[in-house]
A and B are shown apart, each in its own frame.
Chain A
Amino acid sequence: MIKFILRRLLLTIPTFVALMFVTFIAIRLVPGDPIEVRTGEHGISPERLAYFRHELGLDQPVWKQFIDYVWHLLHGDFGVSLSSNEKVLTEFLTLFPATLELSIAGILFAVVLGVPAGVFAAVKRGSWFDHTLMGAAVAGFSMPIFWWGLLLIMLVSEGWHLTPVSGRIDMINFYFEPTTGFMLIDSLLSDQKGAFLSALHHLVLPMIVLGTVPLAVIARMTRSSMLEVLSEDYVRTARAKGLSEFRVISLHALRNALIPVVTVVGLQVGGLLAGAVLTETIFSWPGVGKWLIDSIGRRDYPALQGGILLISSLVIIVNLLVDLLYGAINPRIRHG
């Protein structure tokens, strides 16, 4: 097991180096000189230019600049945002809890609805529920979620006035300093009446929008995995022993059917973050996805570079954890 973990860890190192290299090169390929971007249209005297070039290390050979870049990254220095003059890492960490809260809510929504729906469809294979669910699942993972979000805003927020259109909480009535960064928890800690409900209200639509694609994938996956398991011998044995149908399905079958589902949930993380970019943009949700898109609009390349690096590192780490977890559950992977 330790050998497997070590090998898997070693394999991630080149990926990280390559990732740093890509973001390093990317910022150099962007049209526009980094100094010109800062000085604006009026230009700059040659002495000042030389000074800035030296200051930013641009007078060094490229390989040395890369080493410097990695050195800074390893010390937690991801550069300074051009628009806010804040450290990129600080900005990212301030905004990230909002994205995390939304993502957790989205994936919970998907699992809580998707697993039972998939199980039920498998058990009642060929029923109208099965057909409807599978049809809905195709629509679900074909869904352009940016449109789905607008549609839900149109219906639920504008039409029925059930939920707010944007943001994380009603900022006019509630204000408190973030302690955890999770609005649901902070609002409870704040002891303000109605704050938690307001936060929950704001979360519902973005959660549904972000959770729709994973929901479709999980429901489909659970159904097919369940169908496979239900035809196994040990399920027949369990039935033959005279166990109740509920026990057979929920204990004997589901436990085994869930293994591939867990992997699928883990692999959704990358897709979830991509979805968060769109969801946050639609709902003005102040997370890292919206921040990234805004950075493009502001031509804030350090923020863009740092943000992409941080988000991708996160995905690499989560995928690594999923792999290790899967190896722990399934010995065949370990020795593969």
Chain B
Amino acid sequence: MADTPSAQLSSPAGPVAAFWNAFSQNRGAVGGLIILVTLILLAVFAEWIAPYSSIEQFRGMTKLPPAWAEGGDKHFWLGTDALGRDMLSRLIYGARISLFIGLAVMSVSVVIGITLGLVAAFLGGVVDSVLMRIMDLIMSIPSLVLAILVVSILGPSLTNTIVAVSVVYLPNYVRLVRGSALAEFGKDYIIAAKVAGVGPIRLMFVTVLPNCLAPLIVQAALGVSNAILEAAALGFLGLGAQPPTPEWGAMLADAREFIRSNPWIVTLPGLAILISVVSINLFGDGLRDALDPKLRRS
């Protein structure tokens, strides 16, 4: 920000600085990033930050309201759930689970997506057609229905949630990588690389891939938030993480029966999901605008 126009003229900002300059202009994106970093810190240091364990049950302390409400206990800042477990601790440990699911799904689908996308683009022909038809098929089944299908085959668990949601979001990455790789193919530097004798693997991953990264990074960031939502939905339907795992969606499902008597048990986990998803989406929108002005939605 302190850069004067003349300073910018004399030495053009590096790619990181240029990115940060564009990114930090977007107040929503910076806000999202701050919340996201906070969530990551909470998740990583949950053992030290959370006042109690996520599964410790306090007898006689069930369904306490938050500390500031009438009947609240100052030892349980956000109250307790139906089994007398501290809500705040469960929410903090829940951040670990949700962020882990989001990142795991994103990593798996990005790695497989890049590989399949590049393979489809490079080999073309039958391989390309078969791969793309499979991706069409996956996209034609509604996301949650497909996840339900996968989970009903594999059985409900945290790992299978990750598998199911990764399958659901795979086509986005495959199509994106294939599309950008195909767009790069006609360009001169590829021909130059081929003439220079670059092998196919190197051509795929070292020459072409870096030029397809910008939209991929944006897609990956937004993919994390989608994965968190999808996994929470599965948890809510009882098809995701199983009790006593403090997964936010599963916590909501447990809380459903207390909708009348203890509204905060229902409110808090959902609020946690909403806040984390909003922060990642804001961050992702900021990335999109900063990385590639062409992608800007205006």
Contacts and interface: CB of A to CB of B under 8 A. Distances in A.
Interface stretch (A18-26, A37-45, A197-205): A18-26
Interface in B202-230: 225, 229
A18 B229 CA distance: 28
Contacts of B277: 142, 144
Contacts of B274: 139, 142-144, 147
Contacts of B260: 158
A65 interface: no
Interface in A130-155: 135, 138-139, 141-144, 146-148, 150-151, 153-154
A166 to B, nearest CB: 12
A150 B229 contact: no
A113 interface: no
B140 A278 contact: no
B142 A141 contact: no
A142 B281 contact: yes
Contacts of A281: 237
A241 B39 CA distance: 55
Contacts of A15: 133, 136-137, 140
Given A139-B274, A146-B252, A154 B259 contact: yes
B143 A270 contact: yes
B145 A18 contact: no
Given A144-B232, A146-B236, A292-B148, A271 B282 contact: no
Given A150-B252, A224-B298, A316-B140, A142 B270 contact: no
Given A228-B298, A281-B237, A312 B140 contact: yes
B259 A142 contact: no
Most chain B beta carbons < 10 A, residue from A139, A270, A271: A270
Given A29-B153, A138-B278, A273-B145, A151 B266 contact: yes
B145 A311 contact: yes
B137 A315 contact: no
A278 B144 contact: yes
A14 B133 contact: yes
A18 B297 CA distance: 35
Contact of A142 (B141, B225, B238): B225
Contact of B256 (A150, A312, A316): A150
A220 interface: yes
A319 interface: yes
B134 interface: yes
A151 B264 CA distance: 10
B145 A292 contact: yes
Contacts of A311: 141-142, 145
A74 interface: no
B145 A277 contact: yes
Interface string A154-191: 10001000000000000000000000000000000000
B263 A31 contact: no
Contacts of B162: none
Nearest to B253: A146
Interface residues of B, number: 45
A308 interface: yes
B297 A308 contact: no
B145 A312 contact: yes
A22 B138 CA distance: 10
Nearest to A223: B298
Interface string A108-140: 000000000000000000000000000100110
A22 to B, nearest CB: 7
Most chain A beta carbons < 10 A, residue from B137, B139, B237, B256: B137
Interface in B229-244: 229, 232-233, 236-239
A3 B100 CA distance: 48
Contact of B233 (A19, A142, A144, A297): A144
Contacts of A148: 270
A138 to B, nearest CB: 6
Contacts of A208: none
Interface string A235-269: 00000000000000000000000000000000000
Contacts of A293: 148, 237
B270 A150 contact: yes
A331 B118 CA distance: 30
Contacts of B139: 270
Contacts of B51: none
A11 B140 CA distance: 13
A116 B239 CA distance: 38
B152 interface: yes
A5 to B, nearest CB: 17
A138 B237 contact: no
A191 B133 CA distance: 50
Interface of A: 11, 14-15, 18-19, 22, 26, 29-31, 135, 138-139, 141-144, 146-148, 150-151, 153-154, 158, 220, 224, 227-228, 270-271, 273-275, 277-278, 281, 292-293, 296-297, 301, 304, 308, 311-312, 315-316, 319
14 contacts: A15-B136, A18-B137, A29-B153, A147-B270, A153-B259, A154-B267, A271-B143, A278-B144, A278-B237, A297-B238, A304-B149, A308-B148, A315-B141, A315-B142
